[in-house]
Amino acid sequence: MRGDMTKGVYPIAVSGPNADAFTEPFWEEALNGRLTLARCEQCGTFCSPPQPRCFVCQGGAFAWKTLPGTGTVFTFTVIRHPLAPDLREAVPYVTVLVELDGTQGAGARMLGNLTDCDPDQVRIGDRVQVYFDLVSPTLAAPRFRPLGVKGGGSTDRPRAHPSQSDLTRARPG
């Protein structure tokens, strides 16, 4: 784990994404400050995490779509007891399951750390935005903060605003 702990920020214990052919596009775009998900070209289902086959129709062709980077807290938990002695300085921290905007009603969700907030004020239905914590030159970990809140004590890269042509990019499936 990184030695520089911040209250409310769960430390990342790896220095690289350990990507495979299915997840590499996600991690590449994360380094550029963009949240992307694989969408099945056959039925339109977003598959997160990416996998060889769509879990709905078993299709194997995917297009990568850049999402707005915003969403709604579907559920959450506040971790107040450190799961390991090294985590004492990080508690309390919030883990959220976020329903991502731009997934066309498919309800794609992402698990992450919610930072820059008072853990006692987090509620289901809160609006959040993604940012990317640059852990190493090869890993930008997605985290969330309340919508409209700018960076606090966390390292983040500004979100790039995709052009219309960036919104859907085909990748080999």
Q: What is the pLDDT of residue 94?
A: 97
Confidence of residue 83 (pLDDT cuts 50, 70, 90): confident
Which token pair is 23?
Answer: 């997840």
User: Residue 37 pLDDT more than 80?
Assistant: yes
Kindly write down the DSSP assignment for every residue of 121-147, as one continuous string: G--TT-EEEEEEEEEETTEEEEEEEET
Q: What is the pLDDT of residue 132?
A: 96
Q: What is the pLDDT of residue 151?
A: 67
* CA–CA separation, 31 and 136 (whole Å): 10
User: Residue 15 pLDDT more than 70?
Assistant: yes
* Mean pLDDT for the stretch of residues 103-107: 72
Q: What is the pLDDT of residue 97?
A: 96
Nearest to 115 by CA among 86, 88, 143, 141: 143
Average pLDDT, the chain: 84
Strands (E), the chain: 36-40, 46-47, 62-66, 70-79, 93-100, 109-114, 127-136, 139-146, 168-170
Q: What is the pLDDT of residue 20?
A: 86
First to last CA, the chain: 33
Q: What is the pLDDT of residue 42?
A: 94
The pLDDT tens digits for 40-72 are 999 999 988 888 999 899 999 999 999 999 999
* CA–CA separation, 155 and 167 (whole Å): 26
